[in-house]
Structure 1
Amino acid sequence: MKVQQFEDKYLAQYSYAVLSECENQIVLIDPSRNPNPYYRFAEEHKAVIIGVIETHPHADFVSSHREIQNKTGVKIYGSKLMKASYPVTPFDEGDSIEFGKIKLKALNTPGHSPDSISIVLEHNGKDKAVFTGDTLFVGDCGRPDLREFGGEQEALREYLAKQMYSSLREKLAKLDDDVVLYPGHGAGTLCGKALSDASSSTIGEEKQHNWSLQDLPEEQFVKELTSDLPFIPVYFSYNVDLNKKGAPDFSPSVAAVQIAKKINSEEDTKDLDKQLWVVDVRNDKDFKKGHLAHSVNIMEGEKFETWLGSIIKPGESFYLAAKDENQLKKMIERAASIGYESRIKEAFVLDFAEQEEALLDLNNLKENPEEYTIVDVRNPSEVKQQKIFANSLSIPLAELRGRVKEIPTHKPVAVHCAGGYRSAAASSLLSSELKGKADVYDISEAIKEFQK
């Protein structure tokens, strides 16, 4: 038997292949959008994929379960509560999948979502591991507020938090201490608050160190779980729906993105729709030297997908601009991991500038901060921990497009985050949205000089 963990480091997401070495058969758990790594793994082990299990319809990434089913004819297993629009073989408490000496057993563990399941791996008659999806992480548990939106959201969040309390104690904590924990996410995901950097653990370790498995009254647990939650990117509900429908095949969908000729001159921009955002993935220094109008600088970086799906709404089309063809192709694939490749109107290499960003006089800001409207685009929890400028206006980047009118324009605007990535996106967005009403500056990495 072999368990292979796959990582999408950009979304801090783990997927798994469970291999029976005696039967050369594989069951996949929560596969990412690109199915090719799983096919390669099967080829390397001269094995066949016999099934795909979804622990729940994911909010933060698009799964390739439907593509794998279409190509191989295997069954997709998931809770009967999933309500998917494709054929799903029910996999709820009491159900199991047996191949070789392996038995995969379903546990209904609602809390992150009503339809969440965990999967216990039994080998040679003994429980060896558990795949917990977004229910139990290393050091944390899943948040209960990502799946439903609208007027009943708060009530549902508390209801799911209570279900999480029960799932952790009545199902997962009752497994043997030496059972290996394989979570659906690691540190950096927005599906939890305070995950460990570790990619696996044991039930015994989590009983000792994970706050969510400690001896807490339900009321205290619910209060802790539902407080200070991270923001919810606008693409999350879109991904849940797409995962319930089944996404288009990865490679053909990526190949269908129209790659236009290189933008070298004003003439090359004449057919661009000026109402659409240009998502410019180049580094902030190149962007500030020159970019197209109505551009937002979401740099290539570890959080590209998160901020693309937080700033650009699921129904919007956009252009994608990069420094060269290699970067362009890479970022199209990364956009596809959240199902946004279909929203790219055109992608192109950019070597022309319609606008440039003014550079901040850092010394003047240090000496006269009152002369600026300073916008802090960090998350509320970061601001709560340390407010860097006493009179700054706090608007998290994820909310900025909807709150531009709150920003006074009678003074220059200076934008900061914690290190420069978010402020590059925010300052470029504001520069476009304010339409010359105020000069906009990016404090960028220089923010470190203001932190005590």
Structure 2
Amino acid sequence: MLFRSYFDDKLAQYSYLVGCQRTGEAILIDPPRNVEPILADAKKEGLHVSTATETHIHADFVSGARQLGEKHGVTLYLSDEGDNDWKYQYTDNLDVQPLTDGDEFKIGNIKFEVMHTPGHTPESISFVLTDLGGGADKPMGIFTGDFVFVGDIGRPDLLEKAAGAEGTAQSGAKDMFKSLQRFKELPDHMMVWPGHGAGSACGKSLGAVPQSTVGYEKLFNWALNENDEQKFIDELLKDQPEAPKYFAQMKKVNKLGPAIVENPSAEWFEHAEDVVEFSKQDGNILIDTRISKEAEKGLVPGSINIPFGKMLPNWAGWLVDYDENIALIVEKDQAEEAMKILRSIHLDNVVKLAEPSLIESVATETYRTVDTEAFAKLKDQTDYQVIDVRNDSEWNSGRVEGTEHKMLGHLRSEGKELNKNKPVLIHCQSGARSSIAASVMLALGFDDVTHLSGGFNAWSNNRPKEVVTN
């Protein structure tokens, strides 16, 4: 048996390639949209990806399942659990095998048993793997998707918070408790291969270790050590992070079927003035992917600075509307990767590109970066609006006295409520998010914007007496 895991560090998402080397068949589990590199890897190992499956309808990234079925003729094994609201709706012309609890299928000499493990979502399933070709008569491990993570479990509130399905958080938490009782019955030796690692918003405190065992999770995962159902539900639903805005779109996209894409391409701007004109037009958004230290020296009016890398998919997903045309200010050698990153959350409308050198003459908007002492002096002036753009749990655990809370993901809409005639002071936890926030405020038409270097961490270290706690 060949086993490979693939980790997208920008989305904290795992995909798995499992192949039977005797027959040359392979399966992809929870495939990403950009699946071509994995197919090439399989081919290099003498394997043909004949099958793909996924643990549930994902809310945090675009699944590559439809792409594999449409473009590569791959057979799709998809959950047929859950109610009619969460059934796959793109399967009519594809080779699809519906799966329910207790089903079995084989890829060569590797057996997969299906466990219905609702809680995170109603249709969620897990796959128990047994390597028959290796002579095993007991399972090696379980692919848990967003059911059991290393040190945590999947959150059950996303359908309610992101997709608007009222009451599903409570019912999902109850389902999760029942599913975990089944998980506890599995042999301790079994490996646990989760769908996400640290950094994912699909749980509260996911571990950074890529895999675990059933026995280890029984010992150290809080959720497997709480036997009182109500206490479990209360703890599971408490302090869950904000559900990123784009999650609702992803759930819909993956249910209805993502668009089939080829290699990304877009036209490059030839004149700096055209970049400015693009940014002015309704329905367009200009994303500047430079590092914040470069962007703060000069931004094109109307642009939002989201640095290339891990921050790009998350904050683009929060701040960009899906019907907007996107232009990127990006280095040429990063352009294709940047478009793939955005396409991983179905932001497909990248129509224009500009090299940073092109915009030098028109990057006229700036914001200031100050230390805690300068921030404190400005804050004491009565005409300043002081904005905290951290998430709810950070705000509730402690905040700068006299601040107003507007989480960064909502700032593009909620920032319009502020007075444009007054200067704005912004901070986050460390300074990274407030740099993005500063560019958002400039794009909204605020002239005087300042952000705090080091954020709340620096403030609480240097001025702890001015921290308010609940």
TM-score by length of 2: 0.89
Specify whether residues 260 and 157 from structure 1 end up closer, same or farther in structure 2 by C-alpha distance, changes over 3 A only: same
Query: For residue 348 of structure 1, what is the aligned residue in structure 2?
Result: 354
Provide the C-alpha distance between the structure 2 equivalents of 1:201 and 1:130, rounded to a whole number of angstroms: 10
**For 1:294 and 1:360, how far apart are their aligned partners in 2?**
19
Offset of residue 274 of structure 1:
2.8
Report whether the alignment pairs 1:85 with 2:90.
yes
How far does residue 157 in structure 1 lie from its aligned partner after superposition? Answer: 1.0
After the TM superposition, which residues 115-130 of structure 1 pair with which residues of structure 2 at under 5 Å, given as runs?
A: 115-123=123-131, 124-130=136-142
Pair 1:135-2:147 in alignment: yes
**What aligned pairs does 1:39-438 form with structure 2 within 5 A after superposition?**
39-81=39-81, 82-86=87-91, 87=94, 88-123=96-131, 124-148=136-160, 153-170=165-182, 172-252=183-263, 254-255=264-265, 258-263=266-271, 265-266=272-273, 269-270=276-277, 273-275=280-282, 276-322=284-330, 324-340=331-347, 342-350=348-356, 351-352=358-359, 353-360=362-369, 362=371, 363-371=373-381, 372-387=384-399, 389-409=400-420, 411-433=422-444, 435-436=445-446
1:441 aligned residue (446, 450, 455)? 450
- In 2: Cα distance, 1:418 partner to 1:385 partner: 12
Contact 2:201 2:241 in 1 (8 A): yes
Which moves more between the two structures, 304-313 or 406-415?
A: 406-415
Q: Alpha carbons of 1:154 and 1:278: their partners in 2 closer, same or farther (altered >3 Å)?
A: same
SS in 2 for 1:289: coil
Letter in 2 for 1:6: Y
Report the number of matched residues.
Answer: 442
What is the deviation of 1:3? Answer: 1.9
The amino acid across from 1:104 in the alignment is F
TM-superposed deviation, 1:329: 2.1
Q: CA distance change for structure 1 residues 269 and 405 in 2, over 3 Å: closer, same or farther?
A: closer
Q: Distance in 2 between matches of 1:287 and 1:238?
A: 29
2-structure distance, mates of 1:148, 1:343: 28
Unaligned runs of 5+ in 1: none
Q: Report the Cα distance in structure 2 between the residues aligned to 1:271 and 1:2, rounded to whole angstroms.
A: 49
Aligned CA RMSD, in angstroms, stands at 2.1
Deviates more, 1:325-334 or 1:93-102: 93-102
3-state SS, counterpart of residue 451 of structure 1:
helix
1:424 Cα deviation from its structure 2 partner: 1.3
- Letter paired with 2:355: V
SS at match of 1:127: coil
For 1:85 and 1:99, how far apart are their aligned partners in 2? 24
Q: State the Cα distance separating 1:145 from its structure 2 match.
A: 1.9
**1:268 Cα offset (Å):** 5.8
- Equivalent pair of 1:374/1:391 in contact (CA under 8 Å): yes
Deviations, residues 80-115 of structure 1 (Å, cap 9, x unaligned) = 143332143111112111133310011111111110
CA pair 83-71 structure 1, distance change in 2 beyond 3 A? closer
Identify which range, 34-43 or 173-182, moves more after superposition.
34-43
The Cα of 1:262 is off from its aligned counterpart by 4.2
Alpha carbons of 1:450 and 1:17: their partners in 2 closer, same or farther (altered >3 Å)?
same
Alignment check: 8 A CA contact 2:61 2:345 kept:
yes
The alpha-carbon distance between structure 1 residues 191 and 210, as it changes in their structure 2 partners (threshold 3 A), is: same
- Cα gap change, 1:331 to 1:39, in 2 (>3 Å): same
**Cα gap change, 1:418/1:268 in structure 2, threshold over 3 Å: closer, same or farther?**
closer
- CA shift at 1:321, angstroms? 1.4
> Structure 1 vs Structure 2: percent identity of aligned residues?
33
Kindly indicate whether the alpha-carbon contact (under 8 Å) linking 1:145 and 1:153 is maintained by their aligned counterparts in 2.
no
C-alpha distance in 2 between matches for 1:214 and 1:417: 34
Give the drift of 1:344: 1.9
**Greater Cα offset, 345-354 or 420-429:** 345-354
**Whole-Å Cα distance in 2 between the matches of residues 52 and 143 of structure 1?**
25
User: Aligned AA for 2:34?
Assistant: N
Unaligned runs of 5+ in 2: 82-86, 462-470
Decide whether the 8 Å contact of 1:58 with 1:243 is kept in 2.
yes
SS at 2:268 equivalent: coil
Q: Which amino acid aligns with 1:451?
A: S
Mapped contact 1:176–1:203 kept (Cα < 8 A) = yes
Q: Distance in 2 between matches of 1:374 and 1:100?
A: 61
Deviations 1:371-417 (A, max 9, x none): 23221111111122332x21111111112123224435564211111
Summarize deviations over 1:177-204 as a string: whole Å, max 9, x none. 0100000000000001111111100000
Instruction: Name the CA distance, whole Å, in 2 between partners of 1:411 and 1:31.
Output: 48
Cα distance in structure 2, aligned partners of 1:280 and 1:116:
37
